[in-house]
Structure 1
Amino acid sequence: MFSFLSTYLLYILIVPIISIFSFKWILFHFKVKKNVPPSPPKLPIIGNLHQIGSSPHRSLQALSQKHGPLMLMHFGSAPVLVASSAKMAKEIMKTHDLKFCNRPKLKIVDKLVYGSNDITFSPYGEQWRQVKSIAVVHLLNSTRVLSFKHVREQEIRLMIQKIEKSCDQVVDVSELSFRLINNIVCKSSIGRTYGESKFTDLLERFVHVLGVICIGNYIPWLSWIDRLSGLDDKADKVAKDFNDFLESVVEEHVEKRRNVDVQSNEEKDLVDILLNLQSDDAIGFDLTRDIIKAIILDVFAAGTDTTFASLVWSISELIRHPKVMKRLQQEATEIAQGRSMISENDLDKMPYLKATVKETLRLYPPIPLLIPHESMQDVKLMDYDIPSGTQTIINAWAIGRDPNVWAQPEEFRPERFLNNSVDYKGHHFELIPFGAGRRGCPGIQFAIIMYELALANVIYKFDLSMPNGVKDGNLDMSESNSITLHKKSPLLVKATRLF
């Protein structure tokens, strides 16, 4: 009896232990068989966060040169896949696009963008498809973009007049570029412009907070650091201020609708259209007030911040390369044939202008690390095993400067794009300033036509140089630390009329 009990007790104690160790052994060996991408050495708790630096696109490029174009890093406890080559970007955004088309859940983004209910940060799903469709169909399609031609031409004419009044004096091109793009975006989307200085400050704060690394996203039990550093408070304040502004915009349109029955779609702006869709209840999901404001915020922030940043980079490089500026001026003069302005109909006849824009976007993609993706299921990527839920970063900045793709990649040479079919619309992965695939930017046409028209007319009308006898080659090209790649210092120039 005792022997039987002993055996029985031994059995009920040891078998579970053996089972647990057997399970762990099987699990361990299963994990060993997983083929993961190379990883930089990491520290306990923080992982690779200490290696990001103040310019993440540059830090990640340097790491990729040591560890390869596909790296698995760890930001705290979160696995992060980093792609730094056109081949890897194509695998993620084309070959396995559906598996990588989700967005990671980010605390600060949720605060700023109404729980990530916008186009850019919304998780992949039916609501995202509906929200994106609303923007594409009602603001970003070719017909609607062309319908705002008079707005673009009017605002560019006003910008040219401001520069003319300041000829032979110091002109802040950064400020003028922001006002230009902001006014076009405002008139196109909400029907009128708003106070420039207030909106400039608000957008700067929004973009700054959006670009700060939030510790709580990657090490949840250290979320108190975000409160202690003031990041949470800053995000809450920006979110409140932007919400107050957007709420006033929507209310203004609601009041207008009570007094005016706007029938023609051409007379409606984006807010009118969104309110119509909400009242008609014909889109298959609840278009709440917060989602309306999130869509407007997307158009404001993405449309203004990235486009004016690219325009400033183009003009900066042209000042540093007078021969390039001269060639672009010659093209503009030949096309204009003495007219006072370059028109939108002229742009397709200006290959050197388009090459200059492409070269700027290659060197200075508006969002150098793009907006992060997240894998929705386990993926076999170039023989590597990528688990579901892996945040994925694509370094568009590094891809645009890859010496395996681009000859003399650090040099500004628009000629490389003449007689070259490579474009920025998501079909050629060596140039992806706007991303690609399902999560590619839907506003490319809306942004590019503003950008090209403004650049063509400024260069057509003025010769630009550094003020106070400073050599053009000494122009400060330092970058600011932000989600958007901005020139750190304002672009101050001397403008001289050409005719």
Structure 2
Amino acid sequence: MAADLPVYLLLAVLLAIPLVLFIARTRPAPRSPGAGAGRLPPGPWALPVIGHLHHLAGALPHRALRDLARRHGPLMALRLGELPVAVASSPDAAREVMRTHDAAFASRPLSPMQELAYQGAEGVIFAPYGEGWRRLRSICTLELLSARRVQSFRAVREDEAGRLLRAVAAAAAAAAPVNLSERVAAYVADSTVRAIIGSRFEHRDAYLRMLQEGLKIVPGMTLPDLFPSSHLARLLSRVPAQIEGHRRGMRQFIDTIIAEHRESRASGNDNDEDLLDVLLRLQKEVDSQYPLTTENIKTVMLDMFGAGSETSATTLQWAMAELLRNPRVMRKAQDEVRRALAGHDKVTEDKLASLHYLPLVIKETLRLHPPAPLLLPRRCGSACRVLGFDIPEGTMVIVNAWAIGRYPGHWDRPDEFSPERFEESGRDFRGTDFEFIPFGAGRRMCPGMAFGLAHVELALAALLFHFDWELPGGMAAEELDMTEAFGVTTQLRSDLVVVPRVPVSTG
């Protein structure tokens, strides 16, 4: 998915018709998604050339697709430009995609712009399903992101949480507003970087800027991706040049990090093993049939930098926004944290196990605001049937986790923020309850879930323990702008600016 999708969809609508009319003289038109495909899922009406793109223009994709699903069913067939797409918008449809036929949908679709971005080193997120991906996935789950490894970085998280709290405390002392979105992003980024390379990154601000730029141009729904057979679409798009420039810049960052890391270790630095140490060690140990190349290592690091920091920061931002919008829930969460930590001067991870309500707040945040609302697309590797419909080989499959988390058949008052709903339901986000899949499920489930949640739980508990919170300028809770911004992760459109107050008593 790419920079400002609604703009690209509108550009596609405007440019694609003359574009394809011009090209159609020299090549056959793309086949319709129903050609020889059996009984396809239903879908809305389509236009020549652009297919169903016009149904998505002017709206955030996860919302537009939810609205279409309400009219056409929980499994829809769409054509976005030349791309055949199936959209799953209900728990039953998601279960068939991610459990019943998980192996058939275990690959990621690689668009022309993704191929340009990764150039054969797709890392663990976009690597095609196969033995090479299984090796990388095993490294991530067993070596990089296991419970033991995540726990080993507890001191790093607590140290960075302390930095976050000191920055907020300075604002509280001055009775000044604080941009919590910026502070939370810096906390997660610094903690993630330290876990990966063992030290804070002096170029963190530049890295965060590049990360945000990259999330805006991540390919998938650009003109060249929507019309892959059109050379003219690629010539008219700025995205290839943007991707090349961003790829070079990020690789230079990683090259510098790896070189400095090797020099540090060669000089006898005895720091604890970080994630880059693990990758470099495994590079020497894995067999030659599926080697862990330096390019693989770079891409895995970029995967972890991006996914590890962005999703956690987004979840923290939404959690605080929802608490500010719901003072009753805020008070209940704060009361619990302050009772559990009475007599302590700071929040540490070992004290979080006794909390009951705060994990429900995080669950409810993830239900309403999954960090990646459409997860990441899958590719149908072999034709199969889902909910009685035929999905042809090569179809891109999108699971709308945002719509599923608000599916009215499974959630009472689905748009209301109510953590108490999880007290009795027992639903969890670990891939077995398909009504609630913010991290996906099956083979392609997010391997960094525990790593990200550790950041969220610690920071949220600490922010609630140490501070009371107000909106600036006497703004009422219901006036807080909860509008979403489009991106690979769906953040608040406006930064969350709040006024922290030190409570009179934390006892």
TM-score clears 0.5: yes
Larger Rg: 1
Q: In the aligned structure 2, how far is the partner of 1:396 from the partner of 1:282?
A: 37
Residue of structure 2 equivalent to 1:390: 395
2:165 — aligned with what?
A: 160
Shift of residue 420 of structure 1? 2.7
- Partner amino acid, structure 1, of 2:71: K
Q: Percent identity of the aligned residues?
A: 36
Q: Say if 1:33 and 1:151 are closer, same or farther in 2 by CA, change over 3 A.
A: closer
Q: Quote the offset at 1:475 in angstroms.
A: 0.7
Counterpart in the other structure of 1:249: 257
Distance in 1 separating the partners of 2:231 and 2:146: 42
Q: Does residue 1:193 correspond to 2:197, yes or no?
A: no
Residue 132 in 1 paired to residue 134 in 2?
A: no
Amino acid at match of 1:357: I
1:455-494 equivalence runs, <5 A: 455-494=460-499
38, 41, 53: which is aligned to 2:42?
38
Distance 1:376 1:33, change over 3 A: closer
Partner of 2:385, secondary structure, is strand
Match of 2:185 in 1: 178
- Distance change >3 Å, CA 259–CA 44, structure 1 → 2: same
Alignment of 1:202-221 (within 5 A): 202-210=210-218, 213-221=221-229
Which residue of structure 2 lines up, in the alignment, with residue 447 of structure 1? 452
**1:39 CA drift (Å):** 1.6
- What is the CA distance between 1:243 and its match in structure 2? 0.7
Please say if residues 374 and 389 of structure 1, whose CA atoms lie closer than 8 Å, have aligned partners that are also in contact: yes
Rounded to whole Å, the distance in 2 between the matches of 1:378 and 1:292 is 33
Task: Name the residue aligned to 2:9.
Answer: none
**For 1:121 and 1:471, how far apart are their aligned partners in 2?**
43
Q: How far does residue 495 in structure 1 lie from its aligned partner after superposition?
A: 0.4
The alignment status of 1:117 with 2:117, answered yes or no, reads no
Aligned Cα root-mean-square deviation (Å) = 1.8
Deviations 1:395-439 (A, max 9, x none): 001111111111111111111112331011111011101000000
Structure 2 counterpart of 1:82: 87
Amino acid at match of 1:50: H
The residue identity in structure 2 corresponding to 1:221 is: S
Deviation by residue 1:144-178 (Cα, 9 ceiling, x = unmatched): 11111111111111211111111021101001100
**Letter of the structure 2 residue corresponding to residue 292 of structure 1:** I
How far apart, CA to CA, are the structure 2 residues paired with 1:60 and 1:296?
Answer: 32
Find the counterpart in structure 2 of residue 239 from structure 1: 247
Q: 1:374 aligns with which of 379, 385, 407?
A: 379
Encode CA deviations 1:428-465: one digit per residue, 9 max, x unaligned.
01110100000000111111111011101101111111
Q: Distance in 2 between matches of 1:322 and 1:212?
A: 39
Partners of 2:324 and 2:477 within 8 A in 1 = yes
Aligned residues: 468
Where structure 2 has 5 or more consecutive residues not aligned to the other structure, the ranges are: 1-33
Amino acid corresponding to residue 49 of structure 1 in structure 2: L
User: Helix, strand or coil for the counterpart of 2:484?
Assistant: coil
Matches within 5 A, 1:304-453: 304-453=309-458
Deviates most, 377-386 or 172-181: 377-386
Letter in 1 for 2:322: E
**Deviation (angstroms), 1:279:** 2.7
**Does the CA-based 8 Å contact 2:111-2:219 persist in structure 1?**
no
> CA separation in 2, counterparts of 1:289 and 1:110?
18
Change over 3 Å in CA distance of 1:425–1:46 after alignment to 2: same
TM-score relative to the length of structure 2: 0.89
Distance 2:285 2:360 in 1: 45
Distance in 2 (CA, whole Å) between partners of 1:240 and 1:223 is 23
TM-score under structure 1 normalisation?
0.90
Greater mean deviation of Cα atoms: 465-474 or 84-93: 465-474
**Gapped runs of 5+ residues in structure 1?**
1-29
Q: Is the 8 A contact 1:139 1:189 kept in 2?
A: no
Quick one: structure 1 residues 206 and 329, their matched pair in 2 at CA, closer, same or farther if it must change by over 3 Å? same
Counterpart among 51, 75, 100 of residue 55 in structure 2:
51
Tell me how far apart the structure 2 counterparts of residues 52 and 480 of structure 1 sit (CA, whole Å): 15
Q: Measure how far apart 1:226 and its partner are.
A: 4.1
Distance 1:100 1:400 in 2: 21
User: Residues 312-357 of structure 1, C-alpha deviation per residue, up to 9 Å, x if partnerless?
Assistant: 0000010111111000011001110221122212323212101100
What is the Cα deviation at residue 114 of structure 1?
4.3
